[in-house]
Copies of this chain bind each other. A is one copy, B any other.
Amino acid sequence: MKDDRILLGHGSGGSLSHRLIREIFYPFFQNPILQKQDDSAVLGRLEGEVVFTTDSYVVEPIFFPGGDIGKLAVCGTVNDLAMLGARARFLSAGFILEEGLPVGHLKMILESMRQAAAEAQVLIVTGDTKVVPHGAADKIFINTAGIGVRRPGLALDGANARSGDAIIINGNIAEHGIAVMASREGLELNVSLCSDVAPLNMLVAELLDRIPDIHVMRDPTRGGLATTLNEIADQSQVGIRIYEKDLPLVAEVRGVCEILGLDPLYVANEGKFLIFCRQQQVEDILVVMHNHIYGKDARVIGRVTDQPRGKVVMETILGGQRMIDMLTGEQLPRIC
């Protein structure tokens, strides 16, 4: 490709579009299904229950410590499938590019997608690219949809939390949102503060092989831990109690939250998930978690109660109780 920037013609559907696909996209996403070049990807028969999800990604900046919009677009969708116990098999990728985007940036993003898809063992089988004039979008937006399969009979469901359940998280909270915000604000950090963005499906598969009757799994992304806990309290009509002293939060993240005036409970994660399970399953789950790179800091952070239904309460370090509401308003725009 002679030009080093994306042109409107790259979205025309004509010869420039074909060159973009052949010369830029295909080298990163080689697989026989994609390379058929038909309007749709023929996947053949799928065994098991099929699970389907989608997310659009508009994060700003598009490159941030620990990842970029491409890694996010693969991991986010893989994780949404994993939360319902499905192994991600196939992804679609829809790109909206702003005229003038450097092709070198696009290639870096595609390489991140390639790496994340390889780690998650998922194939990108169909795609689409649109180009809009300069100023009609901000650099690049990516949509991924994902198809996964799972074994029938799993109990996993946001409405399936039960009084007495333990609540486990696989590691430190608020790292993605803080890495993105610090990067956006140009904060000079003394420490290497990185997004936690990661594909969780392999860890989830190991967990479900060992403990297939987990009640709920969900990843606290936009809106953070507080919002996700509220969703589950509402769907399951239970109370949720968490312990501030047990919340895993590194000092640097806490410090940046204070500088930016953010509550880490509402800051997005992209490599974390919550498990609701029976108390007697906790030990088994933590053993699997602690042996996995994405679960090594896993711990119990709370439990499910009968009352107050639909509410989340935090026991504070000072011994008080604080009602934790769902995020209201927009704390962090374009965080994912």
Contact = CB atoms under 8 A, between A and B. Distances in A.
Interface of A: 7-9, 11-18, 36-46, 48-58, 60, 79-81, 83-84, 86, 90, 92-96, 125-128, 130-133, 135-138, 141, 143, 145-148, 150, 152, 157-159, 218-219, 221-223, 227, 231, 235, 266, 268, 325-334, 336
A272 to B, nearest CB: 13
A95 to B, nearest CB: 7
Contacts of A325: 15
B327 A158 contact: no
B145 A39 contact: no
A39 B80 contact: yes
Contact of A126 (B53, B56, B60): B53
Given A50-B50, A56-B96, A145-B145, A327 B41 contact: no
A45 B151 CA distance: 10
A52 B18 CA distance: 20
A42 B38 contact: no
A147 B327 contact: no
Contact of A16 (B46, B83, B329): B329
- For the complex formed by this chain, how many copies does it contain in all? 2
Contacts of A145: 54, 92, 94, 143, 145
Contacts of A37: 158, 231, 235
6 contacts: A42-B51, A45-B48, A50-B50, A52-B126, A137-B137, A143-B145
Residue among A80, A333, A336 with the highest chain B CB neighbour number at 10 A? A333
Contacts of A90: 52
B49 A42 contact: yes
Nearest to A336: B130
Contact of A223 (B17, B86, B136): B17
